[in-house]
Amino acid sequence: MALFSCKLGSPDGRIVEKDLEAQDRDILCRGLEDQGFFVFEIKRKSFRVFSGSETVRRRVRNKELLAFNQEFLVLVKAGLPIIAALDTILERIDKGLLAATLREVRNEVKGGAALSEAFEQYPKVFPYLYVASVRAGERTGDLATTIRRFIAYLKRVEALKKKLLTAMFYPAILVCMAVMVISILMVYVIPTLSKVYSDAGSQLPLATQLLISFAVTLKKYILLVVLLAVAAFFAFRRWAATESGRFWIDGLKLRIPLAGLMVRDYAITSFTRTFATVLGSGVPIIESLKMSVGTLDNRVLERKMLEAVTRVEEGTRLSAALDSVRVMPPLALRMLGVGETTGSLEEMLADVSDYFDEELENRLTLVTTSIEPAIMIFMGLVIGLIVIVMYLPIFNIGSSVG
């Protein structure tokens, strides 16, 4: 028996995650579907790839998977058999998790297994979406096209992630610098100045007394404050990992002004791009929807999208089902409606993902151009206020002498 980590949609509309034992993934998937669950994702736990005496537990990066697929696509298009293509790739990469896994995949394919079945045994290396794309390519006899679609999908996902990281890099540096400067002032500079005032024996203004008392107390209990902060952080992470905590946090993300729209745009971009990729690979629309819901990475949106999937299963048009759950803006829904009517749903989904991608980029630009001066102004105000409060006694001495 193997242990699997399952992400499921319950019959009452909740998203649940649980660990279950089964002989293999297919048996577990069929059993869960017979019980009325929507199966979003099933991953084998305690995954290990042995390379000599070494046990590797990390994941393969998207860049490695992208490079493998680009080379694999060239070899498949050149007419090489699967085993020969894998041998050629293994001549170039002979170390790491991907190489060890590809050797196992090659052995399984040589033993008579389908390529998708061999990939499916290693969910930490080959994601479910990729396995489904390869399986669809095997069904249609056009593996090269499905791999090309997945390559394009990976490139767009990586480009979007890079765009987000680049946009938030400088504001993150500013926040870290602000916290560091204020911490130095509170823990080192202010207590030092307080000793100078104490030696001078001058009467301090109330604001200066309060600030010095706070700084001295902070310095005295700094270790306790750090320990409490770390404990609170891990406690929060543990609560956030629960179903109720994750749902509450995901709902909060969507309610934050401007940032909530960015979270929604990013989730819908991932969903529509995945949906277009899987649908274009020949996977039926209901199965494509179920596979794509998991890419939203937001429990609130997943629950709403799951309701839409249920309505599509009942015979409702996709655009009408999505309109009923209020996830997408009217323009995107009209575009999907046109795609359904004209039979070009895949192309229209790609256009919708491009639309959300552009909206996300516009909002990122707005946030980054406004947050940087906002952080600078806030940091200047806090530091300026601290300096003024600490120099009030000197100002008072100067005015009394004058």
For residue 278, CA distances in Å to 3, 149, 166, 323, 369 come to 27, 9, 29, 22, 36
Over residues 177-206, the mean pLDDT reads: 80
pLDDT at 58: 54
State the average pLDDT for the chain.
81
pLDDT of 225 > 80? The answer is yes
pLDDT at 137: 78
Nearest partner of 268 among 321, 305, 303, judged by Cα: 305
Q: Report the C-alpha gap between 109 and 158 in whole angstroms.
A: 30
pLDDT of 53 > 50? The answer is no
pLDDT at 107: 87
Task: Give phi and psi for 397, each to the nearest 5.
Answer: -60, -45
> pTM score, two decimals?
0.62
Q: Report the C-alpha gap between 153 and 158 in whole angstroms.
A: 9
Q: Report the C-alpha gap between 271 and 266 in whole angstroms.
A: 9
Q: Report the C-alpha gap between 141 and 167 in whole angstroms.
A: 42
pLDDT at 248: 92
H or E element, residue 54: strand 54-56
Q: CATH fold of 170-402, please? A: Receptor-associated Protein (1.20.81)
Q: Which residues contact 259 (CB under 8 A, 6 or more apart)?
A: 253, 367
pLDDT at 47: 42
Q: Report the C-alpha gap between 279 and 328 in whole angstroms.
A: 19
Over residues 238-260, the mean pLDDT reads: 87
Asked if 363 and 342 touch (Cβ cutoff 8 Å), the reply is no
Q: Radius of gyration of the chain from Cα atoms?
A: 28
Asked if 303 and 16 touch (Cβ cutoff 8 Å), the reply is no
pLDDT level of residue 45 (50, 70, 90 thresholds): low
pLDDT of 1 > 70? The answer is no
pLDDT at 399: 55
Structure tokens at 171: 């504001």
pLDDT at 230: 94
pLDDT of 202 > 80? The answer is no
